[in-house]
Chain A
Amino acid sequence: MTEKRIRIVEKILSANDRLANENRRRIDEAGAYSINLMASPGAGKTSFILATIKGLLEEKVQIGVIEGDTAPVTIDSDKISAAGMPVVQINTGGECHLDAIMVENALDQLPLPTLDLLIVENVGNLICPAAFNLGTHSNILIASTPEGDDKPYKYPNIYRGLEVLIINKIDLLPYVNFDMDYFRQGVEMLNPGLQTFAVSCKSGEGIDAWLEWLKTKIRQS
């Protein structure tokens, strides 16, 4: 019996990264722009998607949505269907995040070549989704003001991998303890110059600026 040490030095999630690259190739081939939308439960992910669909109605943008949920409840996907967009629900069976293979399977069920925009709604969680690349063009986080201004300090990883930050529920700012300067300082330390939109999905405030940014990205893809 001989003993031997073998050097490997392989990223533990390299298999996920490979699948994510393949997802990106397929999305690029379809000419769509794609978003991985993350947030804690209740931050307003589905409301934000609905506001985005509504805001793009006149532009005739074809939008596909992948809904990640830990349980087989179709509350969120029913709302998207009602808005007239193709939606695929992924039930993660208790898993706390989406990974590249789940998205790959969902892509098979969407009319991908006809889409201009693909929105993936990740599982409500600020830890696990940050570790799994899905292959989308941008990672977007919705932080809502009632969650508190300390979230960048407590969940640094998710802020570091973002292309865009949405601060939702700004209509509640007079009623909650949310120090915008303290929040933004945390974000700046983790992701300097991060593109940020402060919005209220309820009142519609700030949504136009987000839509302008998004339309530019869709035109470019």
Chain B
Amino acid sequence: MHELSVTESVLEIACKHAEKAQAKKVTDIYLVIGNLSSIVDDSIQFYWNVISKDTLCENATLHFERIPAEMVCLECDTHYTLEDDLIPCPNCQSARIRVVSGDEFNLDSIEIQR
């Protein structure tokens, strides 16, 4: 898993914006993560507690908003959500499908104190 690199990026982006806003500290960090990205929330939290020490983000709470993996069938236009397994269109069984959402991997916002 690559959660360490990901967590380092989150810290870097959050600190950059906090400094720009002249924050004294960052209290909350809001992440938006699509279910198609292979990221484990607990693992990010684990690295976070280690690498955020002695930064503006120390003790900030991480919030994860998960976006479901939604697919659309190109044959019959059925929209459906993937649970665990990759499945063809549940309506017409076509394998011609596209991803509508679930790829998100963003730092949405931070809450700071000045």
Report A-chain residues with C-beta under 8 Å of the C-beta of B41.
none
**Do A7 and B108 have beta carbons less than 8 Å apart?**
yes
Nearest CB in chain B: distance from A53 CB, A: 30
**Known interface pairs A3-B27, A185-B95; A10-B37 also in contact (CB < 8 Å):** no
Contact of A131 among B38, B85, B88, B109 (CB under 8 A): B38
- Give 6 A-B pairs besides A15-B9, A96-B2 with Cβ atoms closer than 8 angstroms: A2-B113, A3-B113, A8-B14, A12-B10, A14-B9, A95-B5
* Chain A interface, DSSP helix/strand/loop, else mixed: mixed
- Bound form: Cα–Cα A157–B69 in Å: 12
Report A-chain residues with C-beta under 8 Å of the C-beta of B114.
1-2, 4
Nearest CB in chain B: distance from A63 CB, A: 28
Report A-chain residues with C-beta under 8 Å of the C-beta of B4.
95
Query: Which residues in B have some Cβ–Cβ distance to A below 8 Å?
Result: 1-2, 4-6, 9-10, 12-14, 17-18, 21, 24, 27, 31, 36-38, 74, 85-86, 88, 95-97, 99, 105-114
Report A-chain residues with C-beta under 8 Å of the C-beta of B88.
185, 189
A219 in contact (CB, < 8 A): no
Contact of B37 among A3, A157, A186 (CB under 8 A): A157
**Do B106 and A9 have beta carbons less than 8 Å apart?**
yes
Report A-chain residues with C-beta under 8 Å of the C-beta of B21.
4, 6
Contact of B95 among A15, A16, A96, A188 (CB under 8 A): A188
Report B-chain residues with C-beta under 8 Å of the C-beta of A160.
99
| Size class of the contact patch on chain A | 35 or more
A132 in contact (CB, < 8 A): yes
Q: Which of A3, A5, A6, A14 has the most CB of B within 10 A?
A: A6
**Do B13 and A131 have beta carbons less than 8 Å apart?**
no
A11 in contact (CB, < 8 A): yes
**Do B12 and A15 have beta carbons less than 8 Å apart?**
yes
- Bound form: Cα–Cα A160–B37 in Å: 12
